[in-house]
Amino acid sequence: MIRRGSLLALGLAMFLGLGIHGAMAQSAGWPGANAVQTTLYFGLKSDDGAGVSEQEWATFLREVITPRFPDGLTAIDAYGQGSPPQPGAALAQTTKVLIVVHADTIEASNAVNEIKTEYKRRFSQAGLFHTETPVRVVE
């Protein structure tokens, strides 16, 4: 969960120095956008059939995600459903949804890509979905 102090610090940092990325978000039709919300959907069924346990997820969160976004994040348990490789049946699985609000920087983008790469490597995982949305942080 995002701590209030971290959210205030993030908002202040973006207000003082978001720079060209904030201007790009605003000029692209998102008036008032001063951050990006990255949402990652981690499917817990691994390609090898072993799956990702709660303990493995907690370790991944602690070792891989938190160091890249130490100012705060939200992780939610969910149920996901999508199209499998073979038509006619839905692919359903338990899912972890990670929400991170951050400055629109190359460093943050690289951190997200590192998280995705490590998840796929560690868990033989193909079920990973990623969205990004410009957002306006308000208090």
pLDDT at 87: 64
The single-letter DSSP state of residue 29 is T
Q: Which domain holds residue 11?
A: 4-135
pLDDT at 3: 44
Per-residue pLDDT of 8-29, as tens digits, reads 334 433 333 344 344 444 435 5
Per-residue pLDDT of 80-114, as tens digits, reads 887 666 666 557 788 999 999 999 999 999 999 99
Q: Name which of 108, 109, 130 is nearest 119 in CA terms.
A: 130
The residue type of 28 is A
pLDDT at 68 over 50: yes
Contacts of 75 (CB under 8 A, 6+ apart): 61, 96, 97, 98, 99
Reported as type and span, the H/E element at residue 106 is helix 106-123
Per-residue pLDDT of 34-54, as tens digits, reads 999 999 999 998 767 778 999
CATH code: domain of residue 66:
3.30.70.120
- Whole-model pTM: value is 0.73
Q: Domain count for the chain, please give it.
A: 1
